[in-house]
């Protein structure tokens, strides 16, 4: 195994398997398959951008919130779009609007090959629908790298909170050629975060299906409701599997961000009626959703707070467990989540 600074995160089960480090290496020597590793020796031993953008690495006490256009108080709504999605189809409807109105040149989404997540660039509004609905296994951000390589200039990215945190740092990092103290004028235009409690191992999802005599080709939708993994088939059969039966990404145990706090807007189902999506608007950019979807007030914010607390409690429990077992504790969390340091200045 090659010497790489991020091994301290990966080998100690702190890695979020977000895939961000794998898309920023200028030498393209970081490969990602469920977790990242080096495929060749790195002359800098990983003391580079991959380390700096990792959401599990603290980059100083200053918050990106100070530098970004974050609202003092986020706005909560719920709504429903015109695309059939996981919940209210809000994410896909917004992406369609951004493409149709030429606010972006491409959307970085997670499609699937028989429910195996695939990172995709979508440039045609009509194709957005095909990438709707949640895939609950580990995915990559490969399409974002590809978009840069083929010259797609302005993109919106949909990501889990860990990915959004890494990508928000990326927007501000001085290594980027176009950096001028502001987020890139080109590049990532919108960060759309999904609520998240954990993501699962694809292999384990496949095993669960096999045990229940189900084929991936027959699955219409996966969902997580009240601690159960719900599998719906095209002939409307529903199977409810206890979440404990599915292996999840260990690094999720040290995650504290339920609702993608670094996103321009965050979307989930917690706090909304069935078949609606909850929308949290956090930045000026995020407000563009208001031009797309009729948003209603009345989200059950207490429920969202309960979910945040559950995640925080899991995090604290994991730290305690690690402390008792003498396992590594990384101190990225001594500062607030995902800050980008301005250091002395």
Ligand X SMILES: Cc1cc2nc3c(=O)[nH]c(=O)nc-3n(C[C@H](O)[C@H](O)[C@H](O)COP(=O)(O)OP(=O)(O)OC[C@H]3O[C@@H](n4cnc5c(N)ncnc54)[C@H](O)[C@@H]3O)c2cc1C
Q: Give the residues lining the site for ligand SF4 (CB under 6 A).
A: 6, 9-10, 15-21, 36, 54-56, 160-162, 166, 196-199, 249, 251-252, 255, 257
Neighbour tally for 63: CB within 10 Å: 18
CB of 139 to ligand X, least distance (A): 5
> Which residues 6+ apart lie within 8 Å of 194 measured at CB?
91, 134, 158, 159, 160, 161, 260, 266, 267, 268
Q: Which residue is nearest to ligand SF4 (CB)?
A: 255
Q: With respect to ligand SF4, which residue has the nearer C-beta, 15 or 279?
A: 15
Residue 9 binding partner per list ligand SF4, ligand X, none, with a CB distance cut-off of 5 to 8 Å that depends on partner kind? ligand SF4
Structure tokens at 96: 């369609």
Closer to ligand SF4 by CB, 131 or 140: give it: 140
Q: How far is Cα 337 from Cα 222, in angstroms, rounded to an integer?
A: 29
- CB nearer to ligand X: pick between 238 and 328: 238
Instruction: Indicate which of ligand SF4, ligand X, none lies near residue 134 (CB less than 5 to 8 Å, by partner kind).
Output: ligand X
Residue 157 site contact among ligand SF4, ligand X, none (CB < 5 to 8 Å, cut-off depends on kind): none
- Do residues 300 and 271 lie in contact, with contact meaning Cβ atoms separated by under 8 Å? yes
Nearer to ligand SF4, 83 or 249 (CB): 249
What is the C-alpha separation between 118 and 135, in angstroms, rounded?
9
Residues interacting with ligand X, by CB under 6 A?
Answer: 83, 85-92, 109-110, 117, 131-136, 139, 158-160, 194-197, 199, 224, 267-270, 277
* CB 258 to ligand SF4: min, Å: 8
Chosen from ligand X, ligand SF4, none, partner binding at 249 (C-beta under 5 to 8 Å by type) = ligand SF4
The item of ligand X, ligand SF4, none sharing an interface with residue 201, based on CB under 5 to 8 Å by kind, is none
Give the shortest CB-279-to-ligand X separation in angstroms.
Answer: 8
CB of 236 to ligand X, least distance (A): 19
Closest to ligand SF4 by CB, 65 vs 198, is 198
Q: Which does 161 bind (CB under 5 to 8 A by kind): ligand SF4, ligand X, none?
A: ligand SF4
Smallest separation (angstroms) from ligand SF4 to the CB of 162: 3
Binds 87: which of ligand SF4, ligand X, none (CB < 5-8 Å by kind): ligand X
């Amino acid at each position: 195994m090659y010497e790489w600074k991020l091994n301290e995160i990966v080998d100690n089960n702190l890695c979020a398997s977000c895939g961000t480090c794998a898309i920023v290496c200028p030498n393209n020597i970081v490969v990602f398959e469920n977790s990242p590793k080096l495929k060749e020796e790195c002359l800098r031993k990983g003391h580079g951008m991959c380390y700096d953008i990792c959401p599990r690495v603290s980059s100083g006490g200053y918050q990106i919130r100070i530098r970004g256009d974050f609202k003092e108080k986020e706005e909560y709504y719920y709504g429903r779009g015109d695309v059939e999605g996981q919940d209210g189809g809000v994410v896909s409807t917004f992406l369609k609007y951004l493409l149709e109105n030429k606010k972006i040149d491409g959307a970085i989404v997670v499609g699937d090959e028989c429910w195996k997540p695939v990172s995709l660039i979508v440039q045609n509004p009509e194709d957005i629908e095909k990438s709707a609905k949640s895939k609950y296994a580990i995915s990559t951000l490969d399409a974002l790298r590809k978009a840069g390589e083929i010259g797609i200039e302005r993109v919106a990215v949909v990501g889990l909170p860990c990915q959004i945190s890494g990508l928000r740092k990326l927007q501000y990092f001085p290594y980027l050629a176009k950096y001028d103290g502001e987020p890139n004028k080109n590049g990532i235009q919108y960060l759309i975060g999904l609520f998240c409690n954990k993501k699962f191992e694809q292999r384990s999802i496949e095993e669960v299906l096999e045990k229940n005599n189900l084929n991936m080709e027959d699955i219409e939708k996966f969902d997580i409701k009240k601690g159960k993994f719900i599998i719906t088939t095209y002939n409307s059969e529903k199977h409810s599997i206890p979440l404990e039966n599915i292996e999840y990404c260990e690094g999720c145990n040290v995650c504290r961000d339920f609702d993608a706090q670094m996103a321009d807007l965050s979307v989930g189902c917690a706090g909304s009626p069935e078949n609606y999506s909850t929308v949290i608007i956090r930045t000026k950019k995020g407000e563009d959703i208001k031009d797309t979807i009729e948003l209603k007030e009345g989200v059950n914010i207490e429920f969202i707070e309960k979910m945040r607390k559950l995640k925080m409690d899991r995090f604290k429990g994991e730290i305690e467990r690690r402390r008792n077992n003498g396992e590594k504790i990384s101190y990225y969390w001594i500062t607030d989540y995902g800050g980008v340091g301005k250091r002395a200045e």
